[in-house]
Structure 1
Amino acid sequence: MKNVSIAIDGPSGAGKSTLARALAREKGYLYVDTGAIYRTIGLSARRAGADPKDEAAVLALLPDTHVELRYGDDGLQHMLLNGEDVSQEIRLPEISLYASAVSAHPGVRAYLLDMQRELARTNSVVMDGRDIGTVVLPEADVKIFLTASAQERARRRCRELEQRGTPEPEETVLREIVQRDWDDTHRAAAPLRRAEDAVEVDTTQLDFQGSLDALLRVIGEKLK
């Protein structure tokens, strides 16, 4: 039976990871959070004291940066950096800006491309990120561009940070989201954009279940 690939792209805070994880569970597919991979590279740069906007400095770290994606007994994706589980640390707000900066470098993206494609070659996957449908898996069976207003995304992110015990003021989170949107859509390497054949799903007015149902409808139509 042919492996199926579902690509979900969209801006920061649109709910890609949460919804993609739920979709993968529903369909019995492998979930691949590519943003977590870039966050891990960003964390490596931060720990090394490297300027994440300096491509040469970041590329110099890669030979000694071993990034691994594993699935734990909890069924969740865990990110390992040189053998250390950094799944919690990469979710800190300051790592978002490091991730955005390192992901803008063509050399970093090329380094990680084969890793992501190999996962899709050997499994049915739900993969989320910012260039999955346009660059990583341009032949994906289903492409979805998930979005929501910046204000709604900031509200959701604040709720998430509160639940983790690392609250941030909403105006700070909104400012970071707007900045990350600009960075992601204006970078030279694989900028965030909707693939021509992607279906856009705006979840601004939808709760989690409503968003999940909308995505399942799109997938059902495309895989008919």
Structure 2
Amino acid sequence: MNPIQIAIDGPASAGKSTIAKILATDLNFVYVDTGAMYRVVTLAAMRKNIVLQDETAVVAVLPDVNISFKPGNPVQRVFLNDEEVTTEIRSVDVTANVSVVSAYAAVRQAMTDIQRNIAADGGVVMDGRDIGTTVLPNAAVKIFLIASVHERAVRRFKENQAKGMDTTLEDLEAAIEKRDYLDSHRDISPLKKATDAIELDTTGLSITEVVDSVKHIIATK
């Protein structure tokens, strides 16, 4: 396949990362987990006991944050200044606060610059919340994945159980609903479907069914 840019957006736990990683592997493209990047910044700020509502203090952390990725099985490994934080950035605390941090203009600009540099030559699958609208507005293929809040919470609950994380389904549903609201109501790059994106509801679909549907969209494009 030609080295195009593929943007996959959608709310938390809609299946973006899972689908993007499979597509990248099958197409021999680079996968960029943008959500993990914002989670790393959030974790770095939390570790410094910064009040996350203090934008100036959060932004001041950026020069000390180096984000890197390494292949992993079954998940891509994420590092903060050479320390692996793959599991820690998926904690309930980070999940509950990442929307606050990711709403800051300087944080988004710093992450967007990195993401655009990675995608400059194409051959990339990137997932997030504003990829098709802001980061890669000229991407050849734009997909917007959605699913019900309950289904997304169940998915995250099963992931957490597999990792030995103790969270309740009710807490996860509440966290996802809050995340949806914050992501879609922030002033800068809010979560929304690009006008030229194709919406795909993954509720009730298997991973294979979603991947096949996206591949069909890519082939059609």
CA contact (8 A) 2:8 2:142 kept: yes
The whole-number CA distance in structure 2 between the counterparts of 1:163 and 1:75 is 12
User: What SS does the corresponding residue of 2:203 show, helix, strand or coil?
Assistant: coil
Residue by residue over 1:186-213, the C-alpha shift from the partner in whole angstroms, topping out at 9 and shown as x without a partner, is: 0011000000000000000211111111
CA distance in 1, matches of 2:99, 2:9: 15
In structure 2, distance between residues paired with 1:76 and 1:158: 16
Q: Given that residues 31 and 77 in structure 1 are in contact (C-alpha distance below 8 angstroms), is that contact kept between their aligned partners in structure 2?
A: no
Distance 2:167 2:85 in 1: 21
The runs of at least 4 aligned residues of structure 1 exceeding 6 Å deviation read none
**Partners of 2:3 and 2:29 within 8 A in 1:** no
* Contact persistence 1:100–1:180 (CA under 8 A): yes
SS of the equivalent of 1:152 reads helix
**Alpha-carbon separation, structure 1, partners of 2:75 and 2:116:** 20
Overall identity of the aligned pairs, in %: 45
TM-score, length basis structure 1? 0.94
Question: What is the number of equivalent residue pairs in this alignment?
Answer: 221
- Provide, for residues 98-135 of structure 1, a one-character-per-residue CA deviation record: whole Å limited to 9, x for no partner: 22111010110011111100110134110000000000
Deviates more, 1:20-29 or 1:119-128: 119-128
Distance 1:107-1:153 versus aligned 2 partners, 3 A rule: same
Q: Distance in 2 between matches of 1:82 and 1:19?
A: 27
3-state SS, counterpart of residue 200 of structure 2: strand
Give the match for residue 216 of structure 1. 215
| 1:3–1:123 Cα contact (<8 Å) kept | yes
Cα-Cα RMSD: 1.5
Instruction: Name the structure 1 match of 2:42.
Output: 42
Q: Gaps spanning 5+ residues in structure 2: where?
A: none
Question: Helix, strand or coil: the match of 2:165?
Answer: coil
TM-score (norm 2): 0.95
Q: Secondary structure at the match of 1:8?
A: strand
Matched-pair contact (CA < 8 Å) for 2:20–2:31: yes
SS in 2 for 1:122: coil
- What is the match of residue 10 of structure 1? 10
